[in-house]
Structure 1
Amino acid sequence: GFRLLHPFMPFVTEELWQRLARSEGDPESIMVAEYPKADPSRNDPDAEANVKMMQEVVSVCRSMRDSYGIKPSLRPVVHVRCREAKGLAAAADQKQNIQTLAKAEAVHVVSMGEEVEKGCGMRPVGDWAEVHMVLRGLLDLDAEIAKVSKGIEAKEKEVAKVAEQMAAPSWAKVPDSVKATTTQKQESAEVELEALRKALASFEDLKAQGW
Structure 2
Amino acid sequence: MVSDKGSETVQMIDFQKLLRHDAAPEVTEDDFRSWVQVQSKHNTPIEGFWVWLREGEGHNVRDMILSGAAIFNSDDHLHVCVFNWLWPPLLQERLDEFREYWNNHTVRRQKEKDLPSGTSPVHIWTCPTHVRPTARDCRVNVRRDMIQELRDEIGGEEGRRQAYQFVTPEFQAAADGAYADLGYPRITLTTAWTVFLAIVDVLRARD
Which TM-score tier does this pair reach, normalised by the shorter chain?
under 0.3
Greater relative CO (CA pairs within 8 A, separation 6+): 2
Structure whose residues are more often strand by fraction: 1
Larger CA Rg, structure 1 vs 2: 1
